[in-house]
Each structure stands twice: as C-alpha cells, then as structure tokens.
Structure 1
Amino acid sequence: MCERCGPAVGAMEEQRDAGLGGPSRRGLILGAGAGLGVLLTGLPVLTASAEAATLKDGRWCNPARGRFPAGGHYGASRGGYPHAGQDVTNSTGTAVYAAAAGTVVRRGKGVLTGRTGNGLVISHGSGTYTYYGHLSAFRVPLNARVAAGQRIADMGATGNVTGPHLHFETHTGRLGSTTDPVSFLAARGVDLGGGWPALNPGAAGATVKVIQHLITQRGTALVADGNYGPVSVRAVKKFQSAKKLVADGQVGPKTWKSLVYELRRGGSGAHVRALQVVLNKHSAGLAVDGGFGAVTNTAVRSFQSANRLAVDGLVGPKTWEALVG
C-alpha cells in the first residue's frame, strides 16, 4: 500500500497544467491502513440511472489487474490526509494500461504534489485526468498520445510504499480534484482491478469490434466497424433472447460469458479475429486475419504473463475477462 507522501494537491496543480489542452465489489475495500495523502474534492453525483447508462460507451477500461488491499481505498486515513485513489495490488512488472485515450502530460518521479515514486498523468480532455503511481517502468514517453488499453507502464513499488501495487486516481474538472476511482469507472462500465465490462447501445471502439466479431461467429453476420448501433444492438438482443438472458442490448457479464469462445492455437474464424482485435487493444500489433497461429499464440501467452494469469495459451473465461475488461 501507499504510505503518506506529503501534502494535498491544490490550486498549484491546476495552475501548472493551465494551457495543456487536449486532450464494492471487494470486502477489503472498507479496511483501514496507511496510504497517500491528498484532499478529496469534486466528488461527482450521478443524478439518474439514464445518465450513468450513457457513460458505458466503451471509452474506458481497467488499468490493471489485482486485488484491493485493506486500507487501500479512496478516502482511507493517511495521518490527517484522506487517500486520493484506489490501490490495486499485484506483483512487480504487472501490466498497467491507459484507462482511456489521452495524452501523457506528466512522467517521472513525484509528478504530483504528495506523490512519491514513479508516476504518470494522462489528460483525457475536458478536465479529466488519471494518475498511475509507484511504477517500476515506463512504456510511453512524455507527451505521447495513448489509446485506451495501451500498455503504458509496469506495476512496481517505487516511492514510499509497503509493497508493489498500482496507486490509481481519477481527477475531474481539474487536476487535483479527485473522485473515487472505483465508482468513477463503475459508472463507465469498468470493474477496477478485474471483471467483465458493461457496454450500452451507442458505444464505440475496439471492444465493440470484439462483440461484432463474436456475434458474427454466433451466426449473425455484422460489419466490425466498432459502432454499437441499431443493427448490432438487434443482433445482440437476438442472441440474448436465444440464451434466455435479459434482451436489453447491454453487453454485461452474463452476456460476455455466453458470447466468448474457448480458443487455442490452430483455431480460425471470426472469434479469432475478435481475440486478435482485443490483443491489439493491449499493444500486441497483430494482423487481424482470423488464424490462431504461432504469432497470436505468442501474443496470448505474453498477455497472460503480463497480467499474472496462467500462461498456457488457452483463451478461456479468465483470459477473455482480462482482455475485454
């Protein structure tokens, strides 16, 4: 977990970034312990379920797999300062991904007031930022444009910590105005630390292409254009009805579990294209040819290793969950 590193982020951070432009589900979350100290401001309140639903648009994803340590939750006491983020614990070297597309605006040691160790800040535009702390390695340079799901760093234990983990923060309105990362991502259909995502009609991006390829493999041919529009929604509802699921068009945990296939080397088809698309979302750089050959097998094993999964080349539910989450 994070130890207390210093004073709160305040107006100074906002001033430093002026003109940058451009862009519980775990019982342990309520524990107490040591961590990074910053003031909590700008807590968002969703006024209606419809508003929350519109946020599940496929633009956000899980930044790292792991567990929530006791006392690593947002708002935990840190010797007079509340904890500004959520800790996600795993071993050093675990992959860290951009939670959404944006620009790396800070990179290095102590890049925010009160933070210790190696960190990155990504600006997502409209005053929204994410912070990734205690990193063991950087995989993108300062000022880089990054895509959602792109590998940006490795988890580590740099700075004032008790063990390896990712300290993850979300800031809205301005840099320094933190929100609870768990609820922030949940409103966007993402389960921080690991879990199946939820996407609603109107979503777009690589994960929508995954859905379209999988539905095609299930017997309803779709154009994999990455836009979850009326044609794709109808196909998903048809699939949900056939599987005796709620036919609401939302692709959530139950639909994902029914939709994915178990894949291994030697397979071919649209479901393999789905696999290749989502591996590319995580920086694999594969040709999307629908053939599960040696190159795709290597990419699967590399992803499994980086996310601390069983490295067997078998793409089952655990690997799919990590890939699409």
Structure 2
Amino acid sequence: MALTGLPGTAQAAPATTAMNGAWCNPAQGSFPSGGGFHAPRGGGLHLGQDISNPSGTPLYAAAAGTVIRRGVAVIGGRTGNGIVIQHAGGMFTYYGHLDAFRVALNARVAAGARIGDMGTTGNVTGPHVHFETHSGSLGNPVDPVPFMAARGVDLRGGWSRVNPGASGQRVRAIQHLLNQRRGAGLLVDGVYGSVSSGAMRAFQSANGLAADGQVGPQTWPVLVYSLRRGAGGSHVRALQTALNKRSAGLAVDGDFGGVTESALRTYQSGNRLVVDGLAGPVTWRALVG
C-alpha cells in the first residue's frame, strides 16, 4: 500500500552504503549452543546460524527478492521444510526447519514480509530456524552473523544501523519520528538523503549523541516514543510504517486506534514479546531490526 507523505523538501539521491536499509532481521529469538557457522555437525559443518524460538514464530524475508525454492530438503537433507530467496547482487538467503509456508514458489517478496513459521521439521532438537546467507552464487555460504552485521542487522535482535544514503520503510519511520521530535517538515519519501541526514545530525547534536547521521543503538532509543492506544501524530505514523514492514497492512494515518493496537498485539504475540499493546523500546527494537 502507498504510505502517506508529508510536505517538505525533496532530497538528493542517496550515496551507496552497505547499511542501506535493504536488509532486516529474519527472526526474533536466541542463538542456541552449537548452532553457529562452521560448527561441527554430523561429520560435516553447520553452514548457517540457528535462531531459536517456539514453533509458529514468524519468519521474515531478510531482503527483497524472489522465492526460487520452496519445499522439503531444498538445500541438503537435514533442514526439513525450507525456502530459498534470491536477492539482487547475487545474494541468496535460506530458511530451514519451517512448520508452515506463507509465500508461494516464484513469489516476489519485500524485505520484512512474512514468509513462513519457525518449526521442527527435519533433523532438530527443538524449534528454530536454520538461516543461511550465500554470496556470489547459491552454494557459496558465508557466515550470516558478520554478513548481516555489515548490512546493519544484528541477528541477536539488537538495534539496527541505518546510514545516510539508505532507503525504504525503515527510513520512512525515521523521517516520521524526526517530524514528531523536531517538527522537521521532512518529505516522507523513504530516502535518507542530505536533508533527512542533516535533520538527524541536528537531532543527535541536540541530544548529546555523536552527530554522524547513523541511526543505530545510541540514537534509536532516544528517537522512538513509548506509544499506547489513543496517541496520535507522526510518531504513530512511524509505528504504523514499522508494523507494515512486517506485513501488518495498516493505513498510515497517525491514529493509534483499535486496528493499530490489534496489529501491534499480534506482532508482539507472534514474536514472543510481552503482549501489552505498548510500543516501548523492546518492541521498537524488534520492529526496526
């Protein structure tokens, strides 16, 4: 759906950056012991990173792309039901041990779109997702933890990092938050160009933060608001935008009413967060991860 923009100044085209807003966390959970890249596994090596949470926990596309494989044992024979997504630039991601599929083969998916549910299919000792990243070609796995970190994503669930030059839904949320915090009058276009990054540097300077324009673990907690039903304004638009990145399908109207509260509670419940209808720091961290 189209997001509601705000009047403001158009921005310069973004510069290239690895932390460009194109990638996001595929799952909430914890790292189990022995589930890291190149750990010994059954006479071979474990070629991904496991992330544990109960069966049914949502899995999200780590970046925009096309579902090129969907089924049983789509890579190897140990990881049960799986999905492979092909991304731009010769990148691929793989999600194994799914209990349910949420997308079809050959589907085009956006970053953050729900693609399946964490589960126990294949060779497992408990529910988790086996997550792989492949660079250059499918069959060339690289360690997902540093791969995703280089793109601003902490697989352990920490705050994301977004650099000037980024674009996308996460940037729209940042622009909405800056409009609420500073009355910046930014055009909410999803482009983190010179105008938005300048407004962010001014915000960081005013709040005693490093004025580098990066929205990361120091800036996000100061930028976001704790929001409940009844709130209204650009900060609610930011929340609705972040929920939409995770497939909520909300109207971005700045009204924290019953529909937005229901979407927030659904997200909290699915991702094993406290289901209180409060968009506080823990929920924001997961949403913008």
Task: Tell me the TM-score range normalised by the shorter chain.
Answer: over 0.9
From 97, 111, 124, give the equivalent of 2:87. 124
Q: Does 1:258 align with 2:222?
A: yes
Q: For the residues of structure 2 that align with 1:128 and 1:115, how far apart are their CA atoms? A: 22
Q: How far is 1:208 from its partner?
A: 0.2
Q: Does 1:285 align with 2:233?
A: no
Counterpart of 1:138 in structure 2: which amino acid? F
Q: For the residues of structure 2 that align with 1:69 and 1:116, how far apart are their CA atoms? A: 16
Q: TM-score, normalised by structure 2?
A: 0.93
Distance 1:87 1:158, change over 3 A: same
Contact 1:64/1:193 (8 A) holds in 2: no
Report the counterpart of residue 28 of structure 1 in structure 2: none
Contact 2:67/2:85 (8 A) holds in 1: yes
Report the counterpart of residue 317 of structure 1 in structure 2: 281
Contact 1:103/1:146 (8 A) holds in 2: yes
Contact 1:138/1:154 (8 A) holds in 2: yes
Q: For the residues of structure 2 that align with 1:223 and 1:303, how far apart are their CA atoms? A: 28
* Structure 1 segment 219-238 matched on structure 2, within 5 A: 219=182, 220-238=184-202
Report the counterpart of residue 5 of structure 1 in structure 2: none
Q: Does 1:80 align with 2:43?
A: yes
Q: For the residues of structure 1 that align with 2:43 and 2:118, how far apart are their CA atoms? A: 27
Q: TM-score, normalised by structure 1?
A: 0.83
TM-superposition CA deviations, 1:9-43 (whole Å, max 9, x none): xxxxxxxxxxxxxxxxxxxxxxxxxxxxxxxxxxx
From 60, 65, 69, give the equivalent of 2:28. 65
From 199, 202, 213, give the equivalent of 2:162. 199
Q: How far is 1:221 from its partner?
A: 1.8
Report the counterpart of residue 3 of structure 2 in structure 1: none
Q: For the residues of structure 1 that align with 2:123 and 2:35, how far apart are their CA atoms? A: 14
Report the counterpart of residue 304 of structure 1 in structure 2: 268
Q: For the residues of structure 2 that align with 1:116 and 1:214, how far apart are their CA atoms? A: 40
From 98, 103, 114, give the equivalent of 1:135. 98
Contact 1:68/1:193 (8 A) holds in 2: yes
Report the counterpart of residue 8 of structure 2 in structure 1: none
After superposing on structure 2, the runs of 4+ consecutive aligned residues of structure 1 that deviate more than 4 Å are none
Identity %: 66
Contact 1:129/1:175 (8 A) holds in 2: yes
SS at match of 2:219: helix
Q: How far is 1:193 from its partner?
A: 3.2
Report the counterpart of residue 7 of structure 1 in structure 2: none
Q: How far is 1:104 from its partner?
A: 0.3
SS at match of 2:116: strand
Q: For the residues of structure 1 that align with 2:172 and 2:89, how far apart are their CA atoms? A: 26
Contact 2:79/2:130 (8 A) holds in 1: no
Q: For the residues of structure 1 that align with 2:146 and 2:215, how far apart are their CA atoms? A: 19
* Structure 1 segment 137-156 matched on structure 2, within 5 A: 137-156=100-119
Question: Which ranges of structure 2 fall in alignment gaps of 5 or more residues?
Answer: 1-15
Report the counterpart of residue 133 of structure 2 in structure 1: 170
SS at match of 1:111: coil
Contact 2:48/2:130 (8 A) holds in 1: yes
Counterpart of 1:102 in structure 2: which amino acid? G
Contact 1:97/1:152 (8 A) holds in 2: yes
Q: For the residues of structure 2 that align with 1:127 and 1:214, how far apart are their CA atoms? A: 34
Q: How far is 1:228 from its partner?
A: 0.2
Report the counterpart of residue 13 of structure 1 in structure 2: none
Q: How far is 1:114 from its partner?
A: 3.5
Question: Which ranges of structure 1 fall in alignment gaps of 5 or more residues?
Answer: 1-52
Q: How far is 1:78 from its partner?
A: 1.2
- The alignment of Structure 1 onto Structure 2 pairs a total of residues equal to 273
Report the counterpart of residue 13 of structure 2 in structure 1: none
Q: How far is 1:288 from its partner?
A: 0.4
Q: For the residues of structure 1 that align with 2:228 and 2:27, how far apart are their CA atoms? A: 24
Report the counterpart of residue 185 of structure 1 in structure 2: 148
SS at match of 1:310: coil
TM-superposition CA deviations, 1:44-63 (whole Å, max 9, x none): xxxxxxxxx92000000000
